[in-house]
Amino acid sequence: MNFRIFSAALCAPVALIVSSPASAEGFEGFRVDLHGGYDAVSSVYTVDGATAGVGIGYDVPVGESVIVGVEANLDYSSAKDEGVYFGVAYSQVARRDIELSARLGVQLGKTTLGYLKAGYSNAGYEGAAAGYGLWAYEKGTSDGIRLGAGLEQRIAEKWFVKGEYRYTRYGSDDVNRNQAIFGVGYRF
């Protein structure tokens, strides 16, 4: 089910690239944004929480209605699981998330941009357990592939709001991350 929804989200903006006659003017140059939203990290089970961060990017028009760009994001997550299992107290926390990605967008009108993105993600995590006179602590990072789709809406000459879905697969650790992000940004 999730694969079908994600496939449809990827195909819709590509179809719009071919059919949109608008100019990419207004969606070019350097940009920054503040964003936040929902973060769910899954392996054997899912932990979720909030995420917040900052992004920077640069977009270049490559046609009347198409842009290509690069971006970097730094996010922090509150996704956490803690409890007691067979007398052992545990805590697992998803910490920071660094993203470097490329995006391909199409202007969907004078003030709206739809885009797809793909890139690299590096997530930090911490885990601890204590019980029966013993304790253990682990802190590390995991590399993954990030895919996403979003909409950017210009609300003033230089200001915009955005909504974005992100999926990340951390291959060696068999971990998935799903995020729904909303933000506000400024283009220079």
What's the predicted TM-score (pTM) here? 0.79
With contact defined as beta carbons under 8 Å apart, do 24 and 61 qualify? Answer: yes
Report d(CA 143, CA 135) in Å as an integer: 27
pLDDT for 84? 83
With contact defined as beta carbons under 8 Å apart, do 22 and 107 qualify? Answer: yes
Give pLDDT tens digits for 152-181.
999 999 999 999 999 999 876 678 999 999
* Better-predicted residue by pLDDT, 11 or 100: 100
What angle (nearest 5°) sits at the alpha carbon of residue 54, between those of residues 53 and 55?
A: 130
pLDDT for 21? 45
Give pLDDT tens digits for 6-43.
444 544 444 444 444 445 678 999 999 999 999 998 88
pLDDT for 19? 44
